[in-house]
Amino acid sequence: MGQLAATPGALKVLEKHGITPLRLLARHAIGDWGDIGLDDAKTNADALRFGARLLSRYRLTEGVRIWVISEADRSVTTVLLPSDY
């Protein structure tokens, strides 16, 4: 997963909900992509084979989501809010 990073906004939201960034990173690392559709799941499966960006989306509560993105070269994985993208 490379270097691990998180935006300040994501850290604040996770703390508010009592969730550690490592919990979401662990899910992302094992291929639990969270709340993504079939098209994005297929894109992630292809990304694992061909070396492209990976995206996970996790719903914390209604209207509150966190993304985890691993860059194509796997140099960095970032926990962020959709608005941080």
Maximum Cα–Cα distance across the chain? 37
For 55, the token pair is 């995206």
Give the end-to-end CA distance of the chain in Å, rounded to a whole number: 18
What is the identity of the amino acid at 79? V
How many domains would you assign to the chain? 1
Pairing of strands 3-6, 76-80: parallel
Domain that holds residue 8: 3-84
Q: Give per-residue pLDDT as tens, 1-20.
A: 899 999 999 999 999 999 99
Kindly report the pTM of this predicted structure. Answer: 0.93
Helix 8-16 / helix 21-29 crossing angle, nearest 10 deg: 100
Q: Give per-residue pLDDT as tens, 29-51.
A: 999 999 999 999 999 999 999 99
User: What is the distance between the alpha carbons of residues 19 and 27, in angstroms, rounded to a whole number?
Assistant: 12
Select from 21, 16, 23 the least CA-distant residue to 6.
Answer: 21
